[in-house]
Amino acid sequence: MHIRLIVGLGNPGPEYEQTRHNAGFWLVDNLANSLPGCHLQRESRFQAMVAKTSIGGKDVWLLEPLTFMNRSGQSVGALARFFKVAPEEILVVHDELDLPPGAAKLKRGGSSGGHNGLKDITSALGTQDYWRLRLGIGHPRTLGLQQAVADFVLHRPRREEQTLIEEAIDKALRIIPMVCEGKMNAATMQLHTDAP
C-alpha cells in the first residue's frame, strides 16, 4: 500500500494565503514547485487545484480543495471516487493546534481533533482510516495569546513561528518519497527523529 493522493488543506483566496490554517496548502505548493513539470491547475469537477505527478516512481495526485476548509471532503471524496483511491492511500496535510510550531507528525486514522477539514473528509470517505501529516502551528494558550482558536488559525503566524513552520515543512518534504513508496514506518521514524 502506498500513497496515491496527497491533499493539502487550506482556504482559497489571497486573504487566507498567509494564515496558519493554510499550512497544508503551503506544503503541497512547495512539493509541486520541487517536482519538474508539476503544475497545480484548477479542476472544476473536483472543485480543487489538482496535479498528477510521479514521486518515488509512483503516480501521485496532488490536491488543494477550493471549497473552504469545512467542505474539504467534497473535493477529496470526488477525486478519490473518480480514480478509485482507497482511504489508506490518501495523505491529508493539515495545520495542527496540538503540536508546537516546528513539529510535524505522521499518523494513520484517529479523530479529527476538532479540525473541520478532517471532519468533512472523514464524513465524505466514510472512515477515519486515512493518513495525516500534522504540521504544528501551536495553540493560542500555549503561545501566550488571548485569541480564540477560530481567530488564531485565520491569522498569519508571528515571524519566529513562521520560520519554525517552514522548517517543519522542509522536514516533511524529505519523507514524501518514502510515503509515496509505502515505506510508512521508515518515513515516520525519520520525521519524528529528524532534528530541524
**Residue of 2, 21, 94, 115 with catalytic role:** 21
Per DSSP bridges, beta strands 131-136 and 58-65 are unpaired
CA distance 50 to 74: 14
Helices (H), the chain: 23-34, 72-82, 116-125, 149-153, 159-180, 184-193
Q: Which residue type does 20 have?
A: R
Calpha distance 161→82 (Å, rounded):
38
Known catalytic residue: 94? no
Rounded to an integer, what distance in angstroms lies between the CA atom of residue 182 and that of residue 113?
25
The residues annotated as belonging to the active site are 21
